[in-house]
Structure 1
Amino acid sequence: MNLKEKRAAALKAAQAIIDGSKALGRDLNAEESAAVEGHVTEVKALDIQIAAAAKSADLIESIGGLAPEQDIPAASGAAKSLGEHFIKSAGDRIKSIGERGVTIVAPEFKANTDTQVSPALSTASTLNIAQVDQTVISLRKAPVIADLLGTGTISGSAITYFVEGAREGNITAVAEGGQKPQIHYAEPVAVTDSLAKIAGWWDVTDEMLEDLGFLVSEINRRAVYDLVKVEEQQLLNGNGTAPNLRGLLQRSGLQLEVAANRTDNADALYRAIAKVDIGSDLAADGLVIHPSDYQTLRLGKDSNGQYYGGGYFGGTYGNGGLEWQPPVWGLRTVVTSAIAAGTSLVGNYAQAATLYRKGGVTVESTNSDGNKFTTNKTTFRVEERVALAVRKPAAFVKVTFSAAAPA
């Protein structure tokens, strides 16, 4: 598949995702937005490669056709002016992708009256074109907190929801003709959480855009990854003071569990699972833990020296396959430094909390900011707007680990 075919395929794939979302009458979800962004980034990178390849081919062809004092005839259909050249070069891109603030750059224009000058080549000289190693370290794709949470879309700037009040009394079995017990549900508390914006920007020179287009696309991907890391911090620890989210660990009504000593840490996690069920009538479905605490659990051994989670060549006592990060107590486990070491959060993430996104993650660029046009720079911006609703704080248990030795 050549570059143009790859470009067409990427554009078609992006449009298919958008059409599918429209057919369902909804906005793009987080996964779809990320996929579309990936395809658009790929299209931009391919456009740069296609332009560079065309320019390189023209250069090689012109050198091969040169002879002493020989004029080179104008190519059939060659652009007669800079404006016509721009339309020929950029017309298809303008029609195919609608982008805000994007600059379309055409390859270098040479009028058909320009003198073509050949570099002085001798038998000892060679044409040196630097080759760039396009291998870039890819960021590891791992589960994140957003993967645990329920998701929703939002049309306004804030979401108002209700936190269930406490129940007094209980429903019981009643004898024939007996008095039925009274129960009372405290009035639900209305809570409003506003959208928070997470964003950042950076500059890229025109030379980088022209010469290392592939690297620009990788920087865009890395910026999205860095945005997700900040999102995790906000979802857990945001203090709720604008412009911050109010994170899961900052919610009133959160349950607590404390380990007695270092050998009690794993048991404390299981007690937290039980507390979720008892305190909220919901089943725990996820756990967030710091890498150092997960390491301690993962390297735990029994009295025979066998790893509880399986050794480095196979499962426990040779049974089953080896997992890189096996789930703890069967829960979906997110290992992240966004949560403080010595702390874990067990809860029902899918039902008790909802992550709202407005518009998905966007990456935009422009050269019309300040003096960027006159200094040959393009500004890239990555941002998202999110809100977090926690309808049952009691469905989450903050676990505090202990480093103390057993008594």
Structure 2
Amino acid sequence: MDPKSELKTIQARMAVIVDGYKSGGNLSDEQATELQELNDRATELKAAILRAEKSAENMRAVAGEPIDHEGDRSIPGAKGYLDFSPARVKSLAKSIANPGIKALIAGGSSGTAVPLDPKPVPLGLTGPNAGFLSLFKTVQRTTPSYKFLQQTVRTNNAAVVAPGALKPTSVYSAVEVTNSLKVIAHLSEMVDRFLLEDNDELESFLATELGNGVIRKAEAEAISTILGTSGILTYATSASYTPAKGFDGIFSGMAKLATVGGYTADLVVINSSDYETLRLAKNGENDYYGGGPFTGGPNPGLWGVTTFVTSGIAAGTALVLDTDTVQISTDTKGIRTDVDAATGFDKNQVRFRTEGRFATDVKQPTGILKVTLTA
């Protein structure tokens, strides 16, 4: 019998004995002895159950799985938001560098937890060029290959109908799409082992750079997947591009997303050079459209919408989308770092490999619009 079942049985027996005493009876010596023995065993079982749950919780934290402290702690297919803000990236690096890459050299590998948060991390709170993947709901996959539903038709024919009249039919069609997690990885150069052991800052530097590299490539892959999905909407500005046409084109794209797709744009993705052109644009009075040098944060949102500025999208192209139409998939292991201490043995050098598995699932293509800023 497992500990939880045994505990329930013991508690039920104790309740019978106590109820008999409360109803006016007297405890015999045998009952008193039995009650004491049952209570001692219940205490042992409670401690064992608590230890088991704590051990399972720690193992899930190492594997990168979220923990539901309110109920079931086994959460395959958990959903939430990745936190890849600068603070989180530093935290992930510290989890590798502390207790230390020195320990990693001895142990061989380290899995870095990437917990899921219930809410997305606003770009405005994380600084420029950070947290793109954090804006989309994420699903932790237990297998590298999986399926998701992608909408193909979204026709709303709802109408006012007279009593007894035929009701219209709306069409909402979806297909099952097979996708798979892609490994994103890279290696460090060979590093002198004693240099690592003597410099804690080098540990943090390597861990931060390697983890950050995987995250940024995952962001670029997500943008590429979104742009390459069949069925997304498009809009192009007229020829002879100017900043004013850029502003108008992005707003027109947002309007088309609402009128054609029926979605609300809550994210703009734009190339860093295109954003700089818009940010520095001036009107006929030589006033900045986006505020002067002493106003605004590093990346104020275009038309009041969260704006992600990146070199991961080509110049002349912008994305306008409803973030609910896209989800990110990853595994339950998080970002992992392994060490090769054998190849450079004769020179006392080591090399690190950091990797993670990610995929982008476009669930509703008509909730995404590509804006071409025509030259």
After TM superposition, the score normalised by the length of structure 2 is 0.68
163, 180, 196: which is aligned to 1:194? 180
| Corresponding residue for residue 168 of structure 2 | 182
1:367 is displaced (CA, Å) by: 1.1
Hey, what's the Cα distance between the residues in 2 that align with 1:196 and 1:16?
Answer: 24
| Corresponding residue for residue 286 of structure 1 | 267
1:303 is displaced (CA, Å) by: 2.2
C-alpha contact 1:169 1:181 (8 A) present in aligned 2: no
Q: Over residues 309-333 of structure 1, what are the superposed CA-to-partner deviations in whole Å (9 max), with x where a residue is unaligned?
A: 110123xxxxxxx322111111111
1:31 is displaced (CA, Å) by: 2.9
Secondary structure at the aligned position of 1:257 is classed as: strand
Hey, what's the Cα distance between the residues in 2 that align with 1:102 and 1:143?
Answer: 27
Q: Say if 2:371 is the partner of 1:399.
A: yes
1:294 is displaced (CA, Å) by: 0.3
Change over 3 Å in CA distance of 1:180–1:171 after alignment to 2? farther
Hey, what's the Cα distance between the residues in 1 that align with 2:106 and 2:83?
Answer: 21
Q: What CA RMSD, in Å, does the superposition of the two structures yield over aligned residues?
A: 3.1
Q: Say if 2:338 is the partner of 1:338.
A: no
* Amino acid of the structure 2 residue aligned with 1:390: V
Gaps of 5+ in 1: 1-14, 49-92, 104-139, 238-246, 315-321
227, 235, 250: which is aligned to 1:249? 227
Change over 3 Å in CA distance of 1:273–1:361 after alignment to 2? same
Change over 3 Å in CA distance of 1:99–1:323 after alignment to 2? same
| Corresponding residue for residue 101 of structure 1 | 108
| Corresponding residue for residue 329 of structure 2 | 356
Q: Say if 2:315 is the partner of 1:302.
A: no
After TM superposition, the score normalised by the length of structure 1 is 0.63
Change over 3 Å in CA distance of 1:269–1:294 after alignment to 2? same
C-alpha contact 2:156 2:170 (8 A) present in aligned 1: yes
Q: Over residues 143-174 of structure 1, what are the superposed CA-to-partner deviations in whole Å (9 max), with x where a residue is unaligned?
A: 24213222221111123112223256712112
Gaps of 5+ in 2: 1-57, 111-126
Runs of 4+ more than 6 Å apart: none
C-alpha contact 1:291 1:335 (8 A) present in aligned 2: yes
Hey, what's the Cα distance between the residues in 1 that align with 2:162 and 2:304?
Answer: 42
* Amino acid of the structure 2 residue aligned with 1:304: E
Q: Say if 2:81 is the partner of 1:39.
A: no
C-alpha contact 1:161 1:192 (8 A) present in aligned 2: yes
Change over 3 Å in CA distance of 1:169–1:341 after alignment to 2? closer
Hey, what's the Cα distance between the residues in 1 that align with 2:309 and 2:197?
Answer: 39
Hey, what's the Cα distance between the residues in 2 that align with 1:165 and 1:279?
Answer: 14
Change over 3 Å in CA distance of 1:36–1:366 after alignment to 2? farther
| Corresponding residue for residue 41 of structure 2 | none
1:401 is displaced (CA, Å) by: 0.6
Relative to total residues, which structure has the larger helix share, 1 or 2?
2
354, 357, 363: which is aligned to 1:385? 357
Greater Rg over alpha carbons, structure: 1
How is 1:75-86 mapped onto 2 (pairs within 5 angstroms)? none
* Amino acid of the structure 2 residue aligned with 1:384: G
Secondary structure at the aligned position of 1:292 is classed as: helix
Relative to total residues, which structure has the larger strand share, 1 or 2?
2
Hey, what's the Cα distance between the residues in 1 that align with 2:106 and 2:172?
Answer: 51
Q: Say if 2:185 is the partner of 1:214.
A: no
* Amino acid of the structure 1 residue aligned with 2:344: K
| Corresponding residue for residue 17 of structure 2 | none
| Aligned positions, number | 286
